[in-house]
Amino acid sequence: MHLSWGRVSAFNVAVLYVGPVIGAGFASGQEILQFFTVFGSSGLWGVMLAGALFCYLGGLVMYLSVSTAARNYTDIYRTVLGGAPARAMDYLSLAMLPGGLVVMLAGGGAVFSEHLGLPRITGTLLTALITAAVIYTGLQGVISANTLLVPFKVAAISGICLLALAFGRPLPEIGAAAVEPSYGSRINWAWSALLYVSYNMVVPVAVLSSLGRAVSLQAGVRGGVAGGAALWAVALLMVATGLYFYPGITGYEVPMLFIAGNLGSLVKTVLVTLIWVAILTTAIADAHGFASRIAGGNTRKYKIIGAGVVFICLPLSTLKFSVLVKVIYPLFGYAGLVLLAALLFIPPVRILRRKFSRSV
């Protein structure tokens, strides 16, 4: 079954955009710490730049998806890159999306093992089963899962940050170790913000491009911009909270757990649940992006491939979570830089060329 035009709302688009960006790294606080908070007050300027780019890129990707009636991300790549570069990005994405899925399955196991005291395989299998089940229900199932889970992620992160700012006590002497900006972002806050956006756009483009035939142009663009604004607001709140507890949070793998620890065991339990939900929504996005590329739509083939790739990835998910992140995530960063440059510069240049040729 294919979703008809207009069946997907702006809200649906927004949650599908936010879902893969607020992954485990974001929910844990580690991404925000390394890309923004370590720059001190300048990190606030960085998150403002990143938020503006998320809004612009969300609207642009949806405009391109709907105007070209895209079926998957290859239509976007051909539009902004063309020819050989588009094919190269396609091959890289075909490797990256299952790779990201492997990382998420391993992350689900790590959460159950390290924070819940349960066998690692339990978390991995549960994450895999839910992901496969959601994908097998088709695009509507993916939309429904994100509509349910993404607001919880946004509300939980926002609530923890607001409670921490209101009632938490910063302890700068604890874990006050120097932290270097990560992922090659040591130049300055602006470069770090650009890298953060590029690193986080590959999977959202794969997801949003699959909506090209299921949403109206107006709803698509509005949803893309709204999703970017939501990311902007949550990231800004996390940076402000991180600065309040800085540098006490720098000695922790999961800074948000340190912050939540100031608020009692119940809040810590909510945060652990939040991290697993963040892993789950990202796993769904990876499987959906891969299946929509191979199957070309919301079909039975899409469902079989999407669910099948989840279980094919299971053996590799037994590898250590941190090792997988170090190996696979740099690929997202490099590919994201190419995609970011193409999205930022090629469409405006083409518009200017058309206007110039008409005036001449």
Closest alpha carbon to 66 in 176, 210, 189, 191? 210
Cβ density class 135-162: b for 16+ within 10 Å, e for less: bbebbebbbebbbebbeebbebbbebbe
Closest alpha carbon to 149 in 284, 263, 268, 30? 284
Report the C-alpha gap between 174 and 249 in whole angstroms: 8
Q: What is the pTM of this model?
A: 0.87
For the chain, how far is it from start to end, CA to CA, in angstroms? Answer: 48
Give the domains, in start order, of the chain with CATH numbers. 10-350 (1.10.4160.10)
**What is the distance of C-alpha 191 from the center of its chain?**
19
Report the C-alpha gap between 223 and 258 in whole angstroms: 34
pLDDT in tens, the chain (360 residues): 444 444 789 999 999 999 999 987 888 888 898 889 989 889 999 999 999 999 999 999 999 999 999 988 999 999 888 888 889 888 888 888 998 898 889 888 888 887 778 898 999 999 999 999 999 998 889 999 999 999 999 999 999 999 988 887 765 544 444 445 444 445 689 988 998 999 899 899 999 999 988 899 999 999 999 999 999 999 999 999 999 888 878 777 778 877 887 777 788 888 888 989 999 999 999 999 999 999 866 678 999 999 999 999 998 888 766 666 666 666 777 778 888 988 888 777 666 566 555 555
Tokens of 20: 């893969």
